[in-house]
């Protein structure tokens, strides 16, 4: 019948194939750049992905989006057990690089599995390594085989119901009992209940517990928060006496993690269970305190560095989905060939998505650099002996700088990625709201990254404080902060006053970077003035501190990115760098104009230049997303399919997950009962009919 052939079906796959063919650069070379430039590492990634893709336990697919919480919990546990087997093999092969790559990609494949593993392998083990003596590490981690994920599963019990960011205010106590030479761990009241502790509910056998060290001799002495190893469950996986544990229950996302609360009811552990690298208590209750209490929180830094890497990978995943969709989907306005226009040909759509793509590229470079720096600092800290005063001081100041950089990047990029996922979802219209397209679980799992292991606002305030203090000091600056000494950038003259057009140039990018630096200096100088006036009340500067930290994080990332651009890919990568930088300026326009880093007369040029860069990058979008080399099984979204056959893939997914032969819901009787009910008057036994009313009111 002709009505069936009246219009032709859309052919998105052809559109994608057509654009892919237009790519003007080498996507392998681009991928090498994105992965940090080492071909061996890229080869390792390929191997790892192959193993993940074909491992039945790690299979992905739309069923993932239909799992209930109990199912997520069980699947996650199975994935962890499977991962533990890879871990053993990697360890035997002395291939810790492989383990890292595995974890990086598992973080995309299933972030809830990653954090359940990471809290143990990174927070718990690093805490023992960093805060314990070599003997403590050797016993728990090597002898008991925690590092093989055998016998022990450690959780990280820092946060309490009433205290999160303010770690120094935690209220769980570890009181030394001088008679028995034990610590007595106690939760004094509801507010001190350990809260949110990942894997406490059903998995962990041990916890690193952050508690106040209390020694009672003549008076009660509170030595502040220290870390203790506390067993929670025995080898039969039964809760030990005195330990109360419960499930935190329903969350926004990460349903696969069994977060729990813990109360300690006079739980006794031997004195040797306090981690004693930096602080020690002897048999008589004499305390030798830590040179820097914050060292106890160092394990959190690894988590933050991982989140920067995650920002890159999640950015890659979601921009790939939204951009492939934006190329494949057509809506409105006939283009020249009589077809509707592709979404990505609307300038508004370009402005919504291309800056996210650019940000993802820039985050990649920053993440590699940050990780390398972290490895270096932690190695330094690990090698230093407690007796080596000057070595310890160097290590501590490196740690402090690592804190500033990792805190800034963690806060800035996890926020950016949250917005990125949401914008990508909205850019897919209604289909972005389908759980099968990946956005909803992606977003719900993601956003906790803005809160945990350091709330983003709190981290940003604290990082900016260090930056402003460095500016004030003005000397002995870490090379990342050397720009703070550039007196020429302070003052009131515009720094970014001309705008490039055409091909993005290295020189112009340097000026933009200077503008970022200038902004930090000027805003920092303003902080110093305000602090002088307000009696050093940093709290009043909160909002400005957040701004400074963000611009710093972007300037750091941009600097790294510009340094690593390889020769063959300059046109694309410089355009990407400039697009990202100008987008950052746009989102902080008020700051840039307020400090006249860019004048308000010049400001309209930013939008014009962004539009120009968008047009330049537009035809390369498929190539630029292909360069992430994110395979379909990791993308796990019909809208992001490599072959572009989005509508068939999406419809098939729906039919696979929802049996079409079932046309009535299990609760159909409720609906049918409502529709088929009799008239109100009948159901009221006619008690209100006029006739009856006459009888009743007689």
Where along the sequence are the contacts to ligand FAD (CB under 6 A)? Answer: 119, 156-159, 164-165, 196-198, 251, 254, 259, 329, 331-332, 343, 346, 348-349, 426-427, 429-431, 433, 448, 451-453, 455, 457-458, 542
Strand pairing report for 287-288 and 260-264: unpaired
Q: Considering beta carbons, is residue 95 or 451 the nearer one to ligand FAD?
A: 451
Instruction: Provide, rounded to whole angstroms, the least separation between the CB of residue 276 and its own copies.
Output: 21
Q: Please give the Cα distance from 192 to 172 (Å, whole number).
A: 6
198 marked as part of a ligand binding site: yes
Per the CB < 8 A criterion, the answer to whether 193 and 251 are in contact is no
Task: Report the sign of the C-alpha dihedral through residues 536, 542, 547, 548, in that order.
Answer: positive
Instruction: Provide, rounded to whole angstroms, the least separation between the CB of residue 305 and ligand FAD.
Output: 16
Instruction: Provide, rounded to whole angstroms, the least separation between the CB of residue 29 and its own copies.
Output: 33
572 exposure class (CB count in 10 Å sphere: 0-12, 13-18, 19+):
buried
Q: Considering beta carbons, is residue 363 or 450 the nearer one to ligand FAD?
A: 450
Which option in its own copies, ligand FAD, none does residue 250 bind, with CB closer than 5 to 8 A by kind?
its own copies
452 backbone dihedrals φ, ψ, rounded to 5°? -80, 165
Task: Count other C-beta atoms under 10 Å from residue 641's C-beta.
Answer: 21
Instruction: Provide, rounded to whole angstroms, the least separation between the CB of residue 332 and ligand FAD.
Output: 4
Tokens of 335: 């283009």
Q: CA 290, 296, 299: angle at the middle one, nearest 5? A: 150
Instruction: Provide, rounded to whole angstroms, the least separation between the CB of residue 119 and ligand FAD.
Output: 5
Q: Considering beta carbons, is residue 98 or 459 the nearer one to ligand FAD?
A: 459
Which option in its own copies, ligand FAD, none does residue 677 bind, with CB closer than 5 to 8 A by kind?
its own copies
Which option in its own copies, ligand FAD, none does residue 385 bind, with CB closer than 5 to 8 A by kind?
none
Instruction: Provide, rounded to whole angstroms, the least separation between the CB of residue 210 and ligand FAD.
Output: 7
272 marked as part of a ligand binding site: no
Determine the distance from the C-alpha atom of residue 334 to the mean position of all C-alpha atoms in its chain, rounded to a whole number: 40
Helix 439-446 vs helix 389-427: angle between axes, to the nearest 10 degrees?
Answer: 150
Report the SS3 class of residue 243. strand
Which option in ligand FAD, its own copies, none does residue 202 bind, with CB closer than 5 to 8 A by kind?
its own copies
Which option in its own copies, ligand FAD, none does residue 453 bind, with CB closer than 5 to 8 A by kind?
ligand FAD
Which option in its own copies, ligand FAD, none does residue 88 bind, with CB closer than 5 to 8 A by kind?
its own copies
Q: Which residue is nearest to ligand FAD (CB)?
A: 164
Instruction: Provide, rounded to whole angstroms, the least separation between the CB of residue 220 and its own copies.
Output: 7
C-alpha distances out from residue 286 to 143, 223, 246, 272, Å: 30, 11, 36, 14
Q: Considering beta carbons, is residue 28 or 66 the nearer one to its own copies?
A: 66
Determine the distance from the C-alpha atom of residue 541 to the mean position of all C-alpha atoms in its chain, rounded to a whole number: 26
Strand pairing report for 206-216 and 220-231: antiparallel
Per the CB < 8 A criterion, the answer to whether 260 and 200 are in contact is yes
Q: Please give the Cα distance from 112 to 259 (Å, whole number).
A: 11
Phi/psi-derived region of residue 154, left when phi > 0, alpha when psi is between -120 and 50, beta in every other case: beta
318 exposure class (CB count in 10 Å sphere: 0-12, 13-18, 19+):
buried
- Cβ-based neighbours of 217, under 8 Å, separated by 6 or more: 178, 285
Q: Considering beta carbons, is residue 33 or 196 the nearer one to ligand FAD?
A: 196
Q: Please give the Cα distance from 640 to 323 (Å, whole number).
A: 8
Which option in its own copies, ligand FAD, none does residue 503 bind, with CB closer than 5 to 8 A by kind?
none
Per the CB < 8 A criterion, the answer to whether 167 and 210 are in contact is yes
Asked if 453 is an active-site residue, the reply is yes
Active-site position among 453, 612, 672, 687: 453
Q: Considering beta carbons, is residue 433 or 472 the nearer one to its own copies?
A: 433
Q: Considering beta carbons, is residue 425 or 517 the nearer one to ligand FAD?
A: 425
Known binding-site residue numbers = 159, 198
| Residues that are catalytic | 453
Known binding-site residue numbers for FAD = 159, 198
């Amino acid at each position: 019948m002709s009505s069936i052939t009246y219009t032709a079906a859309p052919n998105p796959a052809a559109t994608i194939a057509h654009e892919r063919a237009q790519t003007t650069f080498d996507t392998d070379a681009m991928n090498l750049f994105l992965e940090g430039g080492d071909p061996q590492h890229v080869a390792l990634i390929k191997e790892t992905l192959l193993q993940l893709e074909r491992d039945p336990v790690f299979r992905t697919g739309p069923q993932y989006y239909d799992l209930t919480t109990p199912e997520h919990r069980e699947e996650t546990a199975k994935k962890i057990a499977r991962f533990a087997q890879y871990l053993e093999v990697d360890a035997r092969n002395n291939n810790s690089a492989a383990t890292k790559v595995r974890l990086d990609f598992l973080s995309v494949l299933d972030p809830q599995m990653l954090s359940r593993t990471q809290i143990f392998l990174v927070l718990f083990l690093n805490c023992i390594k960093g805060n314990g003596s070599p003997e403590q590490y050797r016993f728990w981690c090597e002898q008991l085989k925690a590092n093989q994920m055998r016998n022990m599963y450690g959780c990280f019990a820092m946060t309490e119901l009433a205290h999160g960011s303010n770690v120094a205010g935690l209220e769980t106590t570890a009181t030394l009992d001088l008679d028995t030479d034990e610590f007595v761990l106690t939760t004094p009241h509801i507010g001190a209940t350990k809260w949110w502790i990942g894997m406490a509910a059903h998995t962990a056998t041990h916890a690193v517990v952050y508690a106040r060290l209390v020694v009672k001799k003549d008076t009660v002495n509170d030595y502040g928060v220290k870390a203790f190893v506390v067993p929670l469950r025995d080898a039969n996986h039964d809760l030990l006496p005195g330990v109360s544990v419960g499930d935190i229950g329903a969350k926004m996302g990460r349903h696969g993690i069994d977060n729990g609360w813990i109360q300690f009811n006079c739980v006794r552990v031997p004195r040797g269970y306090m981690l004693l690298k930096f602080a020690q208590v002897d048999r008589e209750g004499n305390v030798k305190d830590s040179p820097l209490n914050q060292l106890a929180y160092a394990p959190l830094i690894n988590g933050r560095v991982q989140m920067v890497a995650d920002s890159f990978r999640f950015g890659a995943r979601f921009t790939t989905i939204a951009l492939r969709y934006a190329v494949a989907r057509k809506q409105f306005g006939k283009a020249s060939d009589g077809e509707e226009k592709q979404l990505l040909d609307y300038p508004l759509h370009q402005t919504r998505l291309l800056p996210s793509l650019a940000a993802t590229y820039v985050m990649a470079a920053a993440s590699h650099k940050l990780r390398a720096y972290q490895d270096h600092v932690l190695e330094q800290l690990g090698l230093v002996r407690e007796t080596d005063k000057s070595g310890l001081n160097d290590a501590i100041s490196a740690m402090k700088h690592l804190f500033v950089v990792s805190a800034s990047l963690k806060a800035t990029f996890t926020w950016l990625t949250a917005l990125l996922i949401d914008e990508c979802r909205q850019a897919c219209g209604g289909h972005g709201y389908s759980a099968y397209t990946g956005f909803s679980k992606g977003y719900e799992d993601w956003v906790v990254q803005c809160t945990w292991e350091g709330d983003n606002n709190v981290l940003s305030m604290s990082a900016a404080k260090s930056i402003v203090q460095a500016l004030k000091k003005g000397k002995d600056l870490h090379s990342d902060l050397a720009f703070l000494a550039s007196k020429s950038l302070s003052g009131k003259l515009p720094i970014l006053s001309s705008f490039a057009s055409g091909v993005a140039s290295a020189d112009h990018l340097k000026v933009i970077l200077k503008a970022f630096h200038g902004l930090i200096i000027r805003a920092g100088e303003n902080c110093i003035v305000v602090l002088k006036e307000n009696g050093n009340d940093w709290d009043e500067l909160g909002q400005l501190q957040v701004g400074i930290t963000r611009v710093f994080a972007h300037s750091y990332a941009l600097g790294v990115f510009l340094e690593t651009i390889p020769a063959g890919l300059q046109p694309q990568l410089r355009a990407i760098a400039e697009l990202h930088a100008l987008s950052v300026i746009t989102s902080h326009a008020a700051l840039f104009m307020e400090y006249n880093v860019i004048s308000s007369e010049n400001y309209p040029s930013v939008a014009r230049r962004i539009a120009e860069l968008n047009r330049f990058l537009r035809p390369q979008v498929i190539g630029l997303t292909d360069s992430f080399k994110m395979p379909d099984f990791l993308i796990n979204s019909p809208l992001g399919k490599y072959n572009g056959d989005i509508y068939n893939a999406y419809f098939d997914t729906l039919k696979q997950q929802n049996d079409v032969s079932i046309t009535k819901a299990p609760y159909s009787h409720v609906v049918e009962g409502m529709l088929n009910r009799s008239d109100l008057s009948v159901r009221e036994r006619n008690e209100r009919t006029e006739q009856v009313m006459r009888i009743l009111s007689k």
